Amino acid sequence: MNTPSDGDTSDHPVKKRKKYISRACTVCRRRRMRCNGQPRCQTCTTYDEECIYDPDHDGRKPATKQYVEALVNRVRQLEDMLAKRPENGNGGLTSINIASTPGPVTGPAIGASGVLRVDDDSLTHHGPSSAYMLLPDSAARTRGQDIKSSSGVSVLYSSNTLQDNFGSRQEYDISAISWNRHLPPDVIPNAEVHQEVLDIFFSYLNDWCRPVDELDFLAGLFASVTSSSPLARNAQYSPLLHNSILALAISRCPHLFAAPDETELPGNAGMAAAAFAQRARWLFEEEAVKPMISTAQGLMLLGSYHSVAGSLSLGWFYESMGVRMAQTMGLNADCSSLVARGVISPEMRIIRDRALWTVYMQDQLWALFIGRTPNITQDDFETPLPSIDSTIDAMPWMNHVERRARRKGRPWSSSSLSWASSTFRWTCHLMLLADRLHQALYRMRSRHNEAARQTVVSQLHLELGTWLIDLPSPLRVDSSRSSAPPPHIIMMHGIHRYLQILLHRPRYTQPHASGDVDRELAVRTCNVAAVEILHLLEMYDHCAGLRYATTGLINVVFAAGTIHLLDLVQSEKSSGLSMSRILQCIDSLQRMSWPSALAGADILRHMLDEWNPTSLARVSVGQHRSPSPPHAMGQEITGSETSSHNPEQSSEVERFLARLGWMPPVEMTNPGVESAAPPLTSMETPAVWEDFGDTLDMQGFQLAPFAMHDWNSSQSGLADTAALDRKFSFSLVNSC
């Protein structure tokens, strides 16, 4: 007889094992049948009975002790919150937004600060969740003992010796040494051009956020190029920082790269700046292994260079790495214990604190500029506001021409004191307000409901007004000044007006409703701020020239342009004046002459063409549009050189403006707009777009009736609007 093999299961199919369930319904329990655990199990369906699951007969495992304790703890917390809630007048409990109503802050969380460790020749920070915070310092340090790097240059760098040599610039005459040791070869022709570029940086681009101390930088450069180490650096100088400074400053001075016939060659300046940026990127990995303050500051400036060049994504990338490097070195942590132990000097603590605020300031403006979450907020550091150094305030501010005369021993005179240290501190205070503004209005998931958000807007509006009122007299911009203020003071006021616009623009763009006091306040405040920005631009042009403007001024001007455009579309009475002001914003951006500024001017033109179509017949802005720089603002803006509309262009502009919150007018039928528009003379469009230079000065634009005033006449407007701001502050308090 043939018997089936073990593997033959054709006559005896394997019965599928049924799945066990944690509990059965009452019917299956009574009938002692298997329950499939469905909402209406098979047994109840067959016998047409009601399927009920008794919670008292649950076959699942009991909850763990830890889970029960967590639930009990959560219930206790909720009960405490209920007990602390105030009762309203009706005997009920007022509503509360738990996410937007934190408890009182009594101090940092237990162990939240972490530790600062001396790791070989640098400081590193680790938080309480890291095992590295338990490692001991590499060696015991005593006060006054410098930690030496392998190059022999002091890492924990004290600036005492530099202060002793202040004013004696011959001590750091870098023209007599190998100043180009860490630079790409054959880019800067001689030491004089190198010094001119540094003068432009320290005159116009440094004092508003103070990333570099000039004397310490020059002393560090002198020590580095005379050292036997190929990569000698310290807290105030590194080759990466050196190259980043040159890359950023060269974009402002194409005249230093002129042809033999003395014509400017913007392409040469652009290529030189790119060469220094490439060198800085090449140095990054070498310095990042053991980062120093100079490395972090160099990355921040490298990000600014890429922003100017139009590569926003790359600029954001390097800026973010600079913030992370600052956190790695613990610039956001309190280093008073290291000062007490003698590991670092009090002077080094001042340098570290100033560096943290420099990084924080630039990161906040970057976040607002690019529309992303900042990398560091005021919740992430415990560094106090920087102290004011009266010695730095008393230094004269010199433009690059005066610096050259001083260097060559020729007579020179400065028109004003710098007040750089005071400006820095007051700008830091402004950035704390910007941080709160960003968290309340420009986060994907706001912490506040609508009522709480309006309360924050009211508070910030009042604090911005108080900030302006409390400014010391030397930092004010009004008719009492006998001369134009230094550029960094003008930039500080530009940021203040920019924050006012960002605070109220969301309300400005909402539909108008009769009796809406908050919206009326938003419209008045934004319009005043936008006009003041134009006055500040005139002062900056009078003092330094828009070519030497800081990178952050681009977004300040653009924000003012959007407000003037809103006023043009929504107000029939001031359409001609609003048109003049928009064209002044476009002109200012073009005169800055960097790719990102030119791209901003192009965007404003597209917006003007789209939202004021009847002005095309008279203004024909499209005929004056220069080609957009490649890769500017992250993309190339391609458009027609005529006044005709491109549907794809229009849809892109519509999407951009929709993100700002307002809808386009269907048709502009106001006959007064055309007659009020300022006349424009014809201007020949350049055949080639130039990265830098003064060829894009928009000479054809006649800005009447809003003619460019002289500097003194603009001061009276500033005084009037400052008084108006104070009035707005009180009206906001009353309305809320």
Q: Round to whole Å and give the CA distance between 489 and 539.
A: 11
Do 213 and 336 fall into the same domain? yes
What is the CB neighbour count within 10 angstroms for residue 450?
Answer: 8
Q: In this structure, is residue 92 part of a structural domain?
A: no
Do 249 and 352 fall into the same domain? yes
- Total domains present in the chain: 4
Q: Round to whole Å and give the CA distance between 117 and 126.
A: 8
Confidence of residue 64 (pLDDT cuts 50, 70, 90): low
Do 368 and 418 fall into the same domain? no
Q: In this structure, is residue 197 part of a structural domain?
A: yes
Give the pLDDT confidence of 575-621 residue by residue, as tens digits: 788 899 999 999 999 999 889 999 999 999 998 888 765 554 344 43
Q: Which residue has the higher pLDDT, 520 or 126?
A: 520
Q: Which residue has the higher pLDDT, 385 or 449?
A: 385
Contacts of 164 (CB under 8 A, 6+ apart): none
What is the CB neighbour count within 10 angstroms for residue 260?
Answer: 5
Residue that finishes a domain, picked among 384, 419, 452: 384
Q: In this structure, is residue 143 part of a structural domain?
A: no
Residues in the chain: 736
The two structure tokens encoding residue 128: 């309480």
Residue 422 is predicted with a pLDDT of 95
The two structure tokens encoding residue 417: 């004191």
Give the pLDDT confidence of 694-708 residue by residue, as tens digits: 332 333 222 222 222
With vertex at residue 258, the alpha carbon angle to CA 254 and CA 264, rounded to the nearest 5 degrees, is 60
Residue 317 is predicted with a pLDDT of 96
Q: Round to whole Å and give the CA distance between 447 and 451.
A: 12
Q: In this structure, is residue 405 part of a structural domain?
A: no
Q: In this structure, is residue 615 part of a structural domain?
A: yes
Do 515 and 634 fall into the same domain? no
The per-residue DSSP string of 587-603 comes to: HHHHHH-SHHHHHHHHH
Give the pLDDT confidence of 203-233 residue by residue, as tens digits: 999 999 999 999 899 988 988 888 777 678 8
Residue 488 is predicted with a pLDDT of 96
- Mean pLDDT over 48-75 rounds to 71
* Cα dihedral 469, 475, 476, 480 sign: positive
- φ and ψ of 514, to 5 deg: -60, 130
Radius of gyration of the chain (CA): 32
pLDDT of residue 303 exceeding 70, the answer is: yes
Give the pLDDT confidence of 484-515 residue by residue, as tens digits: 899 999 999 999 999 999 999 998 888 777 77
- Mean pLDDT over 473-479 rounds to 85
Specify whether the backbone of 69 is left (phi greater than 0), alpha (psi in -120 to 50) or beta. Answer: alpha
Beta-strand pair 115-119/122-126:
antiparallel
pLDDT of residue 330 exceeding 60, the answer is: yes
Residue 499 is predicted with a pLDDT of 97
Q: Which residue has the higher pLDDT, 615 or 183?
A: 183
The enclosing H or E element of 116 equals: strand 115-119
Do 631 and 736 fall into the same domain? no
Residue 323 is predicted with a pLDDT of 96
Q: Round to whole Å and give the CA distance between 703 and 336.
A: 56
Average pLDDT, rounded, for the chain: 73
Report helix, strand or coil for 125.
Answer: strand
Report helix, strand or coil for 93.
Answer: strand
Q: In this structure, is residue 259 part of a structural domain?
A: yes
Do 424 and 515 fall into the same domain? yes
Largest CA distance in the chain: 125
Most confident option among 249-253, 337-341, 632-636, 645-649: 249-253
The two structure tokens encoding residue 601: 């001017």
Q: Round to whole Å and give the CA distance between 587 and 541.
A: 12
129-143, 298-312, 356-370, 429-443: range with lowest mean pLDDT: 129-143
Quick one: what percent of the chain has pLDDT higher than 70? Answer: 64
pLDDT of residue 48 exceeding 80, the answer is: yes
Q: Which residue has the higher pLDDT, 693 or 334?
A: 334
Which DSSP letter does residue 292 get? -
Residue 114 is predicted with a pLDDT of 59
Q: Do the beta carbons of residue 604 and residue 565 sit within 8 Å?
A: yes
0.75 cut: is pTM over it? no
What is the CB neighbour count within 10 angstroms for residue 353?
Answer: 19
Quick one: what percent of the chain has pLDDT higher than 90? Answer: 33
Q: Round to whole Å and give the CA distance between 174 and 128.
A: 45
Give the pLDDT confidence of 640-657 residue by residue, as tens digits: 333 333 444 444 545 555
Do 599 and 671 fall into the same domain? yes
Q: In this structure, is residue 155 part of a structural domain?
A: no
- Structural domain span for residue 32: 18-59
Nearest to 25 by CA among 6, 9, 44: 44
Q: In this structure, is residue 598 part of a structural domain?
A: yes
